[in-house]
Amino acid sequence: MLLNIQVFIWDFDGTLYKPNPDLWKEVRESEYRVISDHTGWEKGRVVDEFSKLHKKVLPSATETVASLCSITTAQAAVEMEKYYDRRTFLARDERLIVLFSRLTIYRHFILANGVKKRIEEALDVLGILPQRFEAIVTSELVGENKPHDAGFRYILGKTNLPAEQHLMVGDREQIDLLPANQLGMKTCLVWSDKKSDIADVTLPTVYDVVRLF
């Protein structure tokens, strides 16, 4: 099924490190703070307005923040990251380092909804050189966040390879995998013990990706 893969596309948060509930709480609070900064709303209204849109109208939290603040998703991502630092939740990951050392014959991209500079800083903490990736693609570059397909299409334009030779690896079916699937890419859901109806492959950890090749 995955014999022709030439390119890995990696989500970052919750994919290259195990989903962290404490970090997610900080991210959510950062989203609320940006909305409050722009609107002047009290927290109760912020939470209410956010919940009306997020996953009901707009699938991405960053896109929800952008909509409520009347700013771009790229600006929303930058402003949100002023209020948290994912590095405080991360440490050098020898298993991840081994994973990438065993996948050196492939091309690698990151496609994430964060800010490129912050992702590079976090990669350094994990022990992965940012230069291992041909590009770290965010809304700063393509103007849209996942699940919009702008980032996926950008990578397809960079590789000039058929979609089916790309493997998207992520921890969220609707955000990371569905848009890749719709473009004809192969997909892998990680950090899940429940088989995905969307992904071609479901794995319990990101480290298990190496077993596929």
pLDDT for position 1: 73
**pLDDT tens-digit map of 117-163:** 999 999 999 999 999 999 999 999 999 999 999 999 999 999 999 99
Q: Decide if pLDDT at 206 tops 90.
A: yes
Q: Decide if pLDDT at 2 tops 90.
A: no
Instruction: Give this prediction's pTM.
Output: 0.95
With CA atoms as reference, report the closest residue to 62 among 151, 125, 131, 128.
Answer: 151
pLDDT for position 182: 98
**pLDDT tens-digit map of 46-62:** 999 999 999 999 989 99
Could you give the percent of the chain with pLDDT greater than 70? 100
Mean residue pLDDT across the chain = 96
Q: Decide if pLDDT at 5 tops 90.
A: yes
Per-residue HEC secondary structure of the chain comes to CCCCCCEEEECCCCCCCCCCHHHHHHHHHHHHHHHHHHHCCCHHHHHHHHHHHECCCECCHHHHHHHHHCCCHHHHHHHHCCCCCHHHHCCCCHHHHHHHHCCCCCEEEEECCCCHHHHHHHHHHHCCCHHHCCEEECHHHHCCCCCCCHHHHHHHHHHCCCHHHEEEEECCHHHHHHHHHHCCCEEEECCCCCCCCCCCEECCCHHHHHHHC
pLDDT class of 97 with cuts at 50, 70, 90: very high
Greater confidence (209 vs 1) lies with 209
